[in-house]
């Protein structure tokens, strides 16, 4: 496989109220060692080259008004989820991070709640919750010069009382995981693209006492893009290797942010950069990713070493240039990955995967989800239900909905309801999703969020 790297670019993709909207969309650009460059936007998700991808009709997509795109989602309880993302730059205001409480039943904004802007941020890229009443979101500050962390109330999406946005110099935050009520681990990249990690206090968002931002040897390119913590003392981060030629994984100590004792970064696939990871047990993790002109990929990993387990390998999920942007595993036997197709207009997609092998679940296939443009995050409030979210085509607004992790299709069947109407009940008495104004989906077992919108990543001249 050709070596290369992923870069980030700022693009303008539309009009809003007569004004051009400047979307700081992270475009992944795979730069081969030789030959022409090719560009693939993050609004691209895995599609299969072996199976036809049927369009799923009747999906109860929730339009979430007030947010441009969701970047991350988490479900701290079986009834409550929290999505974070960005409100895009307009002619009259700059981009700002945002959060919205979502119901786990439908993916709609929680009753009586609304999208919350988070002043002092340009975007929020990820969120994790150490308890049912406290979450920690990470992203970038208002001028995108450094990372930030901010404690949020999952019930309202607002900054927790008495807290504020904390600046974290030396890291552009991409992901966060909280293995305990007293510790979170944030990962991302430095200005030169090298992977970095930092231990955080979930109560305040500040760097944990006595700790500092850690540079992670063996990583580079886009740095570290995803992190999951299967135990209170072990995390696994994924991203790109130092040679910008392969997807990488590295075990990290959440207490310090440094590589776990005796461990180091591992190059685990040449099929693309790894951008998401989930660990359904202390022994198994599944990472997903993609690269321009390369197929999307899923890779089973050992969280203790970051290596592919004996007898396993990286798995091609689609046969053409496409992307898987996030994965969640509600059980030791089932994961759900999400992204979008390469269409114009694009559509969000979901695919059930085995966490042990990384293969598409037996008898299943990639699902096209009508009414969505891209899906980029997922979380599962139960083993049978997932809330997925992201954006509509060209990030015209946030979206979410509920899916089954076993099939990747919407469940239960729903109908479209007028904006502001209360959720009706189906014939079986199940509450149906309610249109609120952006886009949301619910799948049996998890919650997810769409395209990750980041400002252009800063690079040194040497880094290209």
Burial class (CB in 10 A: 0-12, 13-18, 19+), 230: buried
Contact 219, 242 (CB under 8 A): yes
Q: Quick one: pLDDT at residue 412? A: 65
- DSSP secondary structure code for residue 109 in this structure: B
Q: Which of 192, 184, 195, 89 is nearest to 142 (CA)?
A: 89
Per-residue pLDDT of the chain (464 residues; tens, 9 = 90+): 333 333 333 322 232 222 222 222 333 332 223 232 222 233 222 323 323 344 444 458 999 989 999 999 999 999 999 999 999 976 677 899 999 999 999 999 999 999 999 999 999 999 999 999 999 999 999 999 999 999 999 999 999 999 999 999 999 999 999 999 999 999 999 999 999 999 999 999 999 999 999 999 999 999 999 999 999 999 999 999 999 999 999 999 999 999 999 999 999 999 989 999 999 999 999 999 987 667 789 999 999 999 999 999 999 998 665 678 999 999 999 999 999 876 777 888 999 999 999 999 999 999 989 889 999 899 999 999 999 999 988 777 999 999 999 999 997 633 333 334 444 343 333 333 332 333 444 444 333 333 334 433 433 333 33
- Domain spanning 11-48+75-324+338-349+364-369+451-463 has what CATH number? 2.120.10
Q: Which of 207, 127, 107, 197 is nearest to 167 (CA)?
A: 207
Q: Quick one: pLDDT at residue 393? A: 81
Q: Quick one: pLDDT at residue 437? A: 32
Report the 10 Å Cβ neighbour count for 112. 7
Q: Quick one: pLDDT at residue 458? A: 35
**Total-model pTM:** 0.80
Structure tokens at 405: 């992790």
List strands edge to edge, sheet with 55-56: 55-56, 367-369, 348-353, 334-340, 323-331
- DSSP secondary structure code for residue 40 in this structure: E
Q: Which of 212, 166, 215, 177 is nearest to 193 (CA)?
A: 215
Q: Quick one: pLDDT at residue 28? A: 31
CA angle, 268 then 270 then 275, to 5°? 70
**37 Cβ contact list (under 8 Å, min separation 6):** 29, 30, 31
Q: Quick one: pLDDT at residue 295? A: 77
Q: Which of 203, 219, 218 is nearest to 166 (CA)?
A: 203
- DSSP secondary structure code for residue 463 in this structure: G
Structure tokens at 211: 């700790």
Q: Which of 245, 300, 236 is nearest to 264 (CA)?
A: 236
Length of the chain: 464
Q: Using DSSP bridges, classify how beta strands 195-200 and 183-189 pair: parallel, antiparallel or unpaired.
A: antiparallel
Q: Quick one: pLDDT at residue 216? A: 98
- DSSP secondary structure code for residue 393 in this structure: G
Structure tokens at 339: 């992204």
């Amino acid at each position: 496989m050709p070596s290369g790297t992923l870069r980030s670019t700022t693009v303008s993709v539309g009009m809003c109220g007569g004004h051009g909207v400047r979307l700081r969309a992270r475009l992944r650009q795979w730069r081969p060692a030789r030959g022409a460059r090719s560009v693939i936007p993050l609004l691209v998700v895995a599609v299969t080259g072996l199976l036809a991808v049927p369009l799923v009709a009747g999906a109860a997509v929730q339009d979430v008004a007030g947010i441009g795109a969701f970047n991350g989602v988490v479900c701290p309880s079986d009834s409550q989820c929290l999505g974070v993302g960005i409100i895009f730059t307009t002619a009259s205001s700059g981009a700002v991070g945002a959060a919205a409480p979502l119901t786990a039943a439908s993916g709609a904004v929680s009753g009586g709640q609304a999208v919350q802007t988070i002043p002092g941020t340009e975007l929020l890229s990820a969120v994790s919750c150490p308890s049912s009443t406290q979450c920690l979101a990470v992203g970038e500050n208002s001028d995108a010069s450094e990372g930030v962390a901010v404690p949020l109330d999952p019930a309202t999406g607002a900054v927790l009382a008495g807290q504020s946005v904390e600046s974290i110099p030396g890291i552009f935050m991409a992901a966060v995981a909280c293995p305990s009520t007293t510790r979170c681990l944030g990962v991302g990249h430095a200005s030169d693209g090298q992977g970095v990690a930092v231990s955080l206090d979930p109560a305040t968002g500040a760097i944990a006492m006595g700790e500092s931002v850690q540079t992670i040897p063996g990583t580079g390119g886009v740095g570290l893009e995803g992190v999951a913590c299967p135990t209170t003392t072990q995390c696994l981060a994924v991203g790109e290797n130092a040679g910008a030629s392969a997807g990488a994984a590295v075990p990290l100590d959440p207490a310090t942010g440094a590589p776990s004792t005796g461990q180091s970064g591992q190059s685990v696939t040449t099929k693309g950069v790894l951008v998401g990871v989930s660990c359904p047990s202390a022994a198994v993790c599944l990472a997903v990713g993609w690269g321009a002109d390369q197929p999307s990929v899923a890779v089973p990993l050992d969280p203790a070493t970051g290596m592919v387990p004996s007898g396993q390998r990286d798995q091609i999920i689609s046969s053409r240039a496409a992307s898987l942007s996030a994965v969640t595993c509600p059980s030791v036997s089932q994961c759900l990955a999400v992204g979008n197709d390469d269409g114009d207009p694009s559509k969000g997609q979901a695919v059930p995967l085995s966490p042990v092998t990384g293969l598409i679940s037996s008898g299943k296939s990639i699902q096209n989800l009508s009414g969505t443009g891209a899906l980029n995050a997922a979380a599962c409030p139960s083993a049978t239900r997932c809330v997925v979210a992201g954006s509509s085509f060209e990030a015209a607004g946030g979206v979410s909905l509920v899916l089954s992790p076993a099939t990747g299709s919407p469940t239960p069947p729903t109908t479209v309801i007028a904006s502001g109407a209360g959720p009706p009940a189906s014939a079986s008495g199940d509450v149906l999703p309610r249109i609120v104004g952006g886009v949301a989906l619910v799948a049996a077992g998890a919650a997810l969020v769409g395209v990750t919108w980041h400002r252009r990543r800063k690079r040194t001249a040497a880094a290209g």
